[in-house]
Structure formats: structure tokens, C-alpha cells
Structure 1
Amino acid sequence: MDIQEISELFPLFYTANPETLEWLLSIVDEETYAPDETVITEDDWGKAVYLIVSGWVKVRSHYHYQESTLEILSQGDFLGEMEILDESIKSIEVISLSDVRLLSISAQRFLQMLFKDPQLHHRMLQLTVRRVCQLYRRLQLHQQSPKMKLIKTLIKLGDNYGKSTEKGIEILQIPDQDLADFADVSLEDFQQCINQFQNQNCLEVDSANKCLYLTNIKQLNHLAKQL
């Protein structure tokens, strides 16, 4: 990767100085994972910051023998920055949902970058606040119907990570339980809603290629307004 590629791929580095990006490329480590591998263990938090170059991951909580998917992330996202600034979180790990390529930078070197580049520091604060706002919006959805929650989740994934194709917006076919957890709906409600979306020609499932196609975003947005 060159500095232009990394600044275009990662919103975190949109405003970073070219010198910062040159230094970053000289110190990062590249890692690759196959589907269903542990990318970050609970003991890894606080040691490094991780930048997703390609692929999809889930952030999973495991507590009292129960597991739940808290977040779905993909290309351009980064993880671990908050844990190097505060106490590391527990019982949280990151698992690959597809082939994954990421870059990692040690906590010490990431902090050095922030101190050297005020623009990068400011940008990270902006993105952290944005994440908190997104969390608030998800909490506001808690009292909404399962159908509304799932529509909003699919639209978010399409907007953030979707690829435009002739069939519609393509995203990964995330395992049912993981997507249900992320949308905060039961597995039964999830499956009923997915069937409804397919019958309404808003969604196409391509299990052979592990893809979901949002075939009619306008209709999904229209359904959300009606609920």
C-alpha cells in the first residue's frame, strides 16, 4: 500500500500528514485470517490498534457462557484505539466472518503518531464521537419493532460497506444468529423478517456465494417510514 491508498481507505487518515502516513507504512504489521478465526482475543486489547484492509469481522461478547455479537465491522474500520487510552475491556473478542486482511500498529507507536500529528489526533476524536452517537441511535431503536431494527441494520451495513452491483447493494451473508444479535432481534423474528423482505423483492439471498443483495433500498426505507 502507498500513502494515497491508506488515506483513501481509512477515514481515520483522511487529514493525516503525508509524513505520518509514510512512517505508518514503515512500522505496521500485516496480518491475514481465514473465516471463523480469532482475530483479537480479550488479552490483546490495549496492545495495538487494528485497521481492517479487507473482509468482515464480528465483535463478540462472551459472558457467563453466553455469546452475543455486538458489532459488525469491515473495510476501512479500525479497532483498539480506545483500549490503549483507557482500561482494556474484558470478555470481548473479534472473530473473522470472511477472509480478512488487516494492519496492526503497536499501542506505543500509535500514541506517538497522535502526539506528532494534531490533525490525526483531532480526526480520531471525531470518529470516536461518531461511534458514540451511533451507539445512542442503536439504543434508541431498542423499543422499536424487530422489523424496524432489522431494516435499519441492513441499511447501515449497505451504506457503510455495501458494493453496488446490477442486483443491488451487495453485503456479506452474515450468519443468521450474528446478524440477529447485532440487530437486537430474536432469531425467530429475524428469519420471519428476512422471508418478508424476500417476498417483497427487497432482499435476495445468494447462499452459494455467501452474499446478501439489498435489491430495493428505496423500498426498505419506505417500509421503515411506515412502521
Structure 2
Amino acid sequence: MGEGDALFARFGRTFEPGEVLFREDEPGNTMFVIQQGQVRITKATRDGTKTLAILGPGEFFGEMAILNSKPRNATAEALSPLRCLVIDARTFGQMVVSNAEIAVRMITKLARRLDSANALIEVLMHRDPKARVILGLSRQAEMIGEERDDGSVWVPITRTDLAAEIGLSEEETEDVLVRLRRLRIVEGGDDGFVVGDVQRLQEFLEFLEMRERFGDGN
């Protein structure tokens, strides 16, 4: 039995698509580590439910309820068949104290989480829907993208989830995606996107910003 299987035998749980792992404002004393599948993290706002992140294998979540002993600050829902390690506060404390590597990995991932939050703020500050879509796709490509043999990146996020994350309607988001598909920068959209070249995606955003700066934002 491998290390991952041994951990799952001790701490593992499975969840079905659509199953809620925990809800915002509930008390919590466990954190989760994804072994297989995806989780959507959402938060209620005045304008409806806001998608904060789509997390995949290797990511952890729910740790803040352990670290600060406060209620859950978001809701976690399984997007696909899910295998997770469920770790309580006591076990987490023992793991951190006994294994410096785990502590370092936790600090590193928390720092990445902060960088990701700052990147999302940057996305939401843009008024231009084109910029929001491109920045949102770039952010997701960095967070959960899977590089393929041909150098392209598979980004497993639907148009609906992308629109919710960047604060646009699905129609506004699709308008931009149509343009990106026409330019062969992005493909797909039903269950995820293929970004042929993330650098080209970012260069296209720079091109649009230059056009807008010189008075042609069409």
C-alpha cells in the first residue's frame, strides 16, 4: 500500500458531485486535502453567490477554521467525484510539530493563496470585460492548469464558473471567449478550456490595453 493509500485508509472520505463539504458561517474543526477531483469555494455576497476558487488535486482548504477557531468563511462544494483527506485540528497540530516539511508546505501554500487573492482583486478592478476574462483565464491556468505534451494548457473550469469568478454574466464572458476562439488563442468551454499559449494570451491583453490607451478600445 502506497503512502497516499495509507493516508486515505486513515483519513479519507469520498464526496459526490454537488455534495457540500461545509457551508459558510458553520463552525469547523477539520481541513481537507484533495487527492482526486475538484472543489468549488464560494461566498455569499449582496449580488449573489461569488466563486472564489476552483481547487484540484494537491490543494488544501478549510484550514482557516483550524488556525483561527472562527466559523467557516466560505462554502465548499464537490464539482466532481471527490477523494479527500479530512484532518482534524489535533491531527493537524501533530503533523506540523512532527514534520517540518509539512509546516513549510503549509506556509508556501498560504503564501500562494495570498498571491492568488491579490490576483483576483486585480481582475475585479478591471472594468473591461476582455481584460477580466483574459486575466481570469491566466489566473486559473497558473492555479489549476495542466500542461499537455504539445505545450498547451488544459484549464478545467467551465464558462459558468469562470464568469462567476470574474464577476461577469455568462453572456459577457462568452462574447470575449468567442473572440479568443476566433484568434485560436483559446479552445473549448463546455467542461474546460485549452489555452494554446498562456504567454500569447497575456500578450493579447497587452495589445488590447495599448489600443485602449491610444483611443481605440473596440
TM-score by length of 2: 0.80
2:198 aligned with 1:214: no
Instruction: Quote the sequence identity (%).
Output: 23
Alignment-mate amino acid for residue 213 of structure 1: V
Q: Which residue of 2 aligns with 1:195?
A: 178
Q: Which residue of 1 aligns with 2:86?
A: 104
Q: Which residue of 1 aligns with 2:99?
A: 117
2:80 aligned with 1:71: no
Q: In the TM superposition, what is the alpha-carbon distance from 1:120 to its structure 2 partner?
A: 2.5
1:135-176 CA-partner distances (Å, limit 9, x unpaired): 1232233322322222122122223322315593223242x3
With over 3 angstroms needed to count, the CA separation of the structure-2 counterparts of 1:89 and 1:195, relative to structure 1, is: farther
Q: Which residue of 1 aligns with 2:212?
A: none
Q: Which residue of 2 aligns with 1:178?
A: 161
Q: Which residue of 1 aligns with 2:216?
A: none
Q: How does 1:133-144 map to 2 (within 5 A)?
A: 133-144=115-126
With over 3 angstroms needed to count, the CA separation of the structure-2 counterparts of 1:49 and 1:220, relative to structure 1, is: same
Q: How does 1:44-63 map to 2 (within 5 A)?
A: 46-63=28-45
Q: How does 1:76-95 map to 2 (within 5 A)?
A: 76-90=58-72, 92-95=74-77
CA–CA distance in structure 2, aligned partners of residues 27 and 62 of structure 1: 34
CA contact (8 A) 1:45 1:80 kept: no
2:173 aligned with 1:158: no
Secondary structure at 1:53's aligned position in 2?
strand
Q: Which residue of 2 aligns with 1:149?
A: 132
CA contact (8 A) 2:65 2:72 kept: no
CA–CA distance in structure 1, aligned partners of residues 45 and 73 of structure 2: 6
* Structural RMSD (CA): 2.8
Secondary structure at 1:36's aligned position in 2?
coil
Alignment-mate amino acid for residue 140 of structure 2: L
CA contact (8 A) 1:168 1:216 kept: yes
1:1-39 CA-partner distances (Å, limit 9, x unpaired): 634x69xxxxxxxxxxxxxxx8xx287422222322212
Q: In the TM superposition, what is the alpha-carbon distance from 1:43 to its structure 2 partner?
A: 6.5
CA contact (8 A) 1:167 1:215 kept: yes
1:187-226 CA-partner distances (Å, limit 9, x unpaired): 332121111111111111163xx33211333321211222
Q: In the TM superposition, what is the alpha-carbon distance from 1:57 to its structure 2 partner?
A: 1.4
Gapped runs of 5+ residues in structure 2? 210-218
CA contact (8 A) 1:205 1:213 kept: yes
Q: Which residue of 2 aligns with 1:9?
A: none
Secondary structure at 1:88's aligned position in 2?
coil
CA contact (8 A) 1:201 1:216 kept: no
2:6 aligned with 1:29: no
CA–CA distance in structure 2, aligned partners of residues 78 and 32 of structure 1: 15
With over 3 angstroms needed to count, the CA separation of the structure-2 counterparts of 1:49 and 1:173, relative to structure 1, is: closer
Alignment-mate amino acid for residue 2 of structure 1: G
> When the two structures are aligned, how many residues end up with a matched partner?
206
CA contact (8 A) 2:123 2:166 kept: no
Secondary structure at 1:50's aligned position in 2?
strand
Alignment-mate amino acid for residue 35 of structure 1: P
CA contact (8 A) 1:50 1:105 kept: yes
With over 3 angstroms needed to count, the CA separation of the structure-2 counterparts of 1:173 and 1:125, relative to structure 1, is: closer
Q: In the TM superposition, what is the alpha-carbon distance from 1:48 to its structure 2 partner?
A: 1.0
Q: Which residue of 2 aligns with 1:14?
A: none
Q: Which residue of 2 aligns with 1:11?
A: none
TM-score by length of 1: 0.77
